[in-house]
Chains A and B, each alone.
Chain A
Amino acid sequence: MKFLGIDTSAKAASAAVVSDGKLLGEVFVNVGKTHSQTVLPIIQDTLRFSGVSLEELDYLAVSNGPGSFTGLRIGLAAVKGLAYPQNKRCIPVSTLEALAYNLKGFKGILCPVMDARCNQVYTALFESDGREIRRLTGDAGISLEDLDNLLKKYSGEIFLVGDGAELCYNELGWKLNCALTPAHLLYQRGSGVCYAAASKTADAVECGLLVPEYLRLPQAERELKKKTK
């Protein structure tokens, strides 16, 4: 089975090709360039250097949220455009689940966290026994305080991964049993998207059914005007 995995859900952009569990090629750039300008060249190069053509792919996988409002739509639109002519099967992958799959092979609680600003994070919990990754909680937008309360319920080592990991580590990690994921595994990657997708091929859909999953923030209705004294 050949997968192309794409992520443009936050600052970094990445694409990877995985064939029968083997990572053939991956491009990852984290330089703050506009995804609309980088994503297609990245995909083209990843396929070319991996020696895999678009026709040969079995699945196109893409992280569909949570994430940046613009970034998610760029990734989804790119995948839809590539999949449509040959009606390729597409697999939407939770950005948080893709992050958890960066840590495939680790043992412990996996806690992907994405910074949603204003002391809020997008998160979900997973458990890894070193071989399989199992989901413990659904994707949610919660406050840092609620994440603290959630993590207190788990014993054993907790691995923080994602662009909110450092924030959480600094705010909560020192008092909980948390470890910060090393820098090369910290952000969303095409390979994480591929491996997460490989575990859920039953979720494959035709490209027209791909939709972004913007998670609602707990403070979405919060007014932003200056507080009157």
Chain B
Amino acid sequence: MGKTCFVRGLAKGLGLKDQISSPTFAIVNEYRGKIPLYHFDMYRIETLGDLYSTGFFDYLDQGGICAIEWSENIAQALPKQAITVSFSQGGTENQRIIEIAGDERF
């Protein structure tokens, strides 16, 4: 659907030079820069115990950006001010409709 592609653009915007790859197997990939980027895939995370052992709560305190794929799996643990980015198929194969919803920053 283009989630990792979107994060690649986010990283570029942050001035990060690293190659961005899908965090599906590692669950989280870290990219260090002036503003660090933490890229999560919560596909296999189901419980609070699972989430704790990813170090998720530690990352929240580190002043970086957490890009979270499959965030619906941890809906109850997301911070209140989280910004939601939704993707859906556009009219042609390479088109995507991206909706961004969040607090007063948007």
Contacts and interface: CB of A to CB of B under 8 A. Distances in A.
Interface on chain A toward B: helix, strand, loop, or mixed SS?
Answer: loop
Interface residues of A, number: 21
Interface residues of B, number: 21
A216 B52 CA distance: 10
A217 interface: yes
Top 10 closest A-B pairs, CB basis?
A220-B49, A226-B75, A70-B58, A224-B74, A70-B55, A224-B76, A222-B48, A68-B58, A69-B55, A224-B77
B61 A217 contact: no
Interface of A: 11, 32, 34, 68-71, 117-118, 214, 216-217, 219-227
B89 to A, nearest CB: 22
B58 A217 contact: no
Contact of A224 (B46, B55, B58): B46
Contacts of A221: 47-49
A217 B62 contact: no
Interface string B66-100: 00000011111100000000000000000000000
A71 B55 CA distance: 9
Contacts of A118: 48, 76-77
